[in-house]
Structure 1
Amino acid sequence: MKPFEKFIMRHGISLPIMTAVFPVLYLGAEIGMIASGAVAAGSYIASTSTIKQFQFSSDSKRFHMTRSEYKHVRIQIKEAKAKIKQLQGHYYRVRSISYYKQIREMVRLGQKIIANVQQNPRKFYLAEPFFYSHLDTALELTEKYTHLIGQPVKDKELKIALQDTRDTLTSMIDVMEKDLKKVLSTDVEQLRMELEYAQMTLDKQDHQLLGAPPQTDSEGDMDHDRKSINSK
């Protein structure tokens, strides 16, 4: 279930509860409108929070993770998304097309990694260097390059530093591609196993068809008789 669907589910359950609690307290208990409204609102908050915790526990169990592990991965995903947005913020601060393409490629790779880990949090452990180091390095280099490229002075030393940064960013793209391959490795392996199983099933069916017993004369005579009857 997607986050938005979980949100709708929580509030779809909590809202009727609050709607039912208010008239019961106001009309039945006669504790006053303000007190009834406060208790009803409290029931709404408590219900939403309880359902959210249940959903959280259910998701952690589904991925065979402890609550603390699942929570840690979710935090890392949230922080990584924020860093990707920072990278995207450099799109319109540069004038070099090649540099723009470098940033766009890093953003694309980063989004792919985050999306895969968000879909299956256990894949986080295949891409820990991306979350703990590689994304930070890419962002830091991008910010420094953007700052330097905007300076009016362009002496030889600065040009060398800019070229070195561009080369390093190219290397970072290669590193992030490897991170993505690691994240996808389990999917590739699973697909390979499914293909092998499908091929084995097809081979078995072909073998059974080829090994079918030949038609006997009596069966042939019966077929001939059926054809003769049908032709009359």
Structure 2
Amino acid sequence: MKEIQQFFIRNFIAVPVSFGSWLYLLFGIGMNIFPATGLFIVLYLGSSFSIKQIQLSSNLKQLGMTRSEYKHIKNQLTSARFKVKQLNSFYGKVRSVQAFRQLHEINTISRKILGIVKTNPKKFYYVEKFFYAHLDSAVELTSKYSMLVNQPLKDKDLKITLQNTRETLVDVNKQLEQDLRNVLSSDLEKLQMEIDFVGVTMNRDKPVLEMKGDKYNDRK
């Protein structure tokens, strides 16, 4: 959402500046339309790029991150999205309802983690194992399972391998669930603190209830 907003801000500034310069070049100094249009494109691209860099610097300052950190996390997100697309390609290859449901859960959890990290890149450090190992394991095992389950022969060894793969996928799914908990942990702690604060405030401001039969002034 923020990226879309910043895109419109860039164009809101870059387009009028570039178009105004184009009109000046045409009618102010009588430049030919072709070189003027070329300069218009250069001005638009240059101003848009400069504003984008300013916006990026502002975002990094708010996040407390360096450009190299941010670039690394963006690359990891791009790589992870490609792996999730690979998971999507296995939907038509699994044979059982259980395997389909399991694949759907893995896919859903993975997309949720990616969405959270995209919104707040610092969350990447809560789920580094997801990006470096767990998602890779999910893709590799699902690929292996979809390949084995479509083999025409079903001997004892193949059935054992399939069963072992299914059980391992269950473990991977649990790892992904833990990754999701990890990436949400700081938000949950913050929410609990806010709930506790509101509770304390409400109890503090709540008038003390009088016992039945008590008077306002015991001295009377």
- After superposition, residues 114-193 of structure 1 pair within 5 angstroms as 114-193=114-193
Which structure would you say has the larger Rg?
1
User: What letter corresponds to residue 106 of structure 1 in structure 2?
Assistant: I
The answer for unaligned runs of 5 or more in structure 1 is 217-232
User: What corresponds to 2:194 in structure 1?
Assistant: 194
Note if 1:55 corresponds to 2:55: yes
Whole-Å Cα distance in 1 between the matches of residues 161 and 11 of structure 2? Answer: 54
Moved more, 125-134 or 25-34: 25-34
User: What letter corresponds to residue 169 of structure 2 in structure 1?
Assistant: L
TM-score (norm 2): 0.90
| CA offset digits 1:20-66 (Å, max 9, x no partner) | 11111122223311110101100010111111111211111111111
User: What letter corresponds to residue 181 of structure 1 in structure 2?
Assistant: R
Whole-Å Cα distance in 2 between the matches of residues 155 and 51 of structure 1? Answer: 63
C-alpha deviation, 1:215, in angstroms = 6.4
Note if 1:95 corresponds to 2:95: yes
Task: State the aligned residue count.
Answer: 213
User: What letter corresponds to residue 117 of structure 1 in structure 2?
Assistant: V
Whole-Å Cα distance in 2 between the matches of residues 19 and 177 of structure 1? Answer: 51
* Greater than 3 Å deviation, 4+ residue runs: none
| CA offset digits 1:73-126 (Å, max 9, x no partner) | 122122212211211111122221111111100011111111111222111101
User: What letter corresponds to residue 49 of structure 2 in structure 1?
Assistant: S
Moved more, 151-160 or 177-186: 151-160
| CA offset digits 1:176-210 (Å, max 9, x no partner) | 0111111111011101111111111112112xx33
Structure with more helix by fraction: 1
User: What corresponds to 2:208 in structure 1?
Assistant: 210
- After superposition, residues 71-82 of structure 1 pair within 5 angstroms as 71-82=71-82
The answer for unaligned runs of 5 or more in structure 2 is 210-214
TM-score (norm 1): 0.86
User: What corresponds to 1:2 in structure 2?
Assistant: 2
C-alpha deviation, 1:3, in angstroms = 2.0
User: What letter corresponds to residue 139 of structure 1 in structure 2?
Assistant: V
SS at match of 1:210: coil
User: What corresponds to 2:16 in structure 1?
Assistant: 16
